[in-house]
Amino acid sequence: MNADIIKKQIIALKNLNTPNSEFIVNLFEYYLKMQNSKKVILDSDFITVVNENYNLDDVIKINKYTPNKLITDNSTIYINLNNYEIGENWFYNFQNNLCRIYSNLIKTKNEVLTEEILIDKVLDIKNNDYTKKYIVDSKKYKLYKLIKNLDKIITSSNLKNIKFLIKYDEEDILKYNFVLKELKMALEVIREENKKKKILYLYDYFSDYLDGEFRNYNFCNFKNNQCFAQYDKNNKFKFPYTEYNGCCYDVRNKVQCNNLDTASCGKCKIKSLSCKLLICGYLRSKGINYSIYDSLLTKSFFKLHQKLDCVWEFYIDEKEMIKRMGKASLLYR
């Protein structure tokens, strides 16, 4: 996506000043901010990224674990991340949606922008299939299978150092940074002995990630205690059920959820992952969709019922959820 074109479009959208123009401005303003701030690939004490003409043959001494996937030199496991499919995750789903909106915007750049054009041609709500999945490269290895393997290798081999070898283009930095962050979390989960703490790490990770996405892109864009879906007259969905406070409504008792702290700008008093994962049809029709089933880390660690707990146990705090989910072991152990 071309930053100069985006900047010009942002000015045109700001002049339009409608609910959907503001929504698109929020998406692209944060996208540009991320592009500008992350020029360096993520690095850490146990992940080393190599971006040079690395001759992998130089480091292949033993390849005894999983042929063609991992290579090791007795003290370090080297993993060529370019051999793995890194696109199967919710980060990619969202980035693909941004690219879709961007290319629609470019196609309509000569038209006079109106709210109707944004809905019909740019967001293209009627034709947007938000259930469509990323097309995986079948020649590449599955990353979640690597994570499950890593656990066995680390615990059985005493090999403590892990190096990810990557060759990347500037444009790919955001994508690789996301995957490396997830791999870092996966290694922390694997190295933690206590099962409930493992689940806690993952639960916190997902909660913080979703909070960050909703805060940074400002999808719900609250104004005067009404969310985007509540004040946009073009919302055809019969949700949320109330006129104020977004979707923080207790459907069981048909009252406003009592975890909502109205005294503190409508903040939630608890940490419910299911609530964070609930994205209304109105936002999903614009391509905002974070499914726990698409997450690399849930594919690697959670059993089906643990994923279902994440999605369906609304209004329940983290502590109770960790207790429930911790009754079963994780997928890989």
Give contact residues for ligand SF4 (rule: CB under 6 A): 220, 227-229, 240, 246-248, 257, 259-260, 268, 270, 272, 275, 279-280, 282-283, 314-315
Instruction: State the residue number with the nearest CB to ligand SF4.
Output: 246
CB of 58 to ligand SF4, least distance (A): 51
DSSP state of 82: G
Q: Which is nearer to ligand SF4, 137 or 317 (CB)?
A: 317
Q: Which is nearer to ligand SF4, 54 or 244 (CB)?
A: 244
Contact 190, 150 (CB under 8 A): yes
Counting beta carbons within 10 angstroms of the beta carbon of residue 159, is it exposed (0 to 12), middle (13 to 18) or buried (19 or more)? middle
Q: Which is nearer to ligand SF4, 87 or 240 (CB)?
A: 240
CB of 285 to ligand SF4, least distance (A): 11
Q: Which is nearer to ligand SF4, 182 or 213 (CB)?
A: 213
Rounded CA gap, 31 and 95, in Å?
9
CB of 129 to ligand SF4, least distance (A): 19
CB of 211 to ligand SF4, least distance (A): 11
**223 pairs with which residues across the strands?**
226
| Cα–Cα distances in angstroms (integers) from residue 253 to residues 97, 257, 263, in the given order | 36, 9, 21
Contact 18, 116 (CB under 8 A): no
CB of 264 to ligand SF4, least distance (A): 11
Contact 289, 233 (CB under 8 A): no
Counting beta carbons within 10 angstroms of the beta carbon of residue 89, is it exposed (0 to 12), middle (13 to 18) or buried (19 or more)? buried
Residue 227 φ/ψ region, left for φ over 0, alpha for ψ in the -120 to 50 degree band, beta for the rest: beta
CB of 227 to ligand SF4, least distance (A): 3
Q: Residue 254 carries which side chain, given as an amino acid letter? A: K
Q: Which is nearer to ligand SF4, 13 or 260 (CB)?
A: 260
Q: Which is nearer to ligand SF4, 159 or 268 (CB)?
A: 268
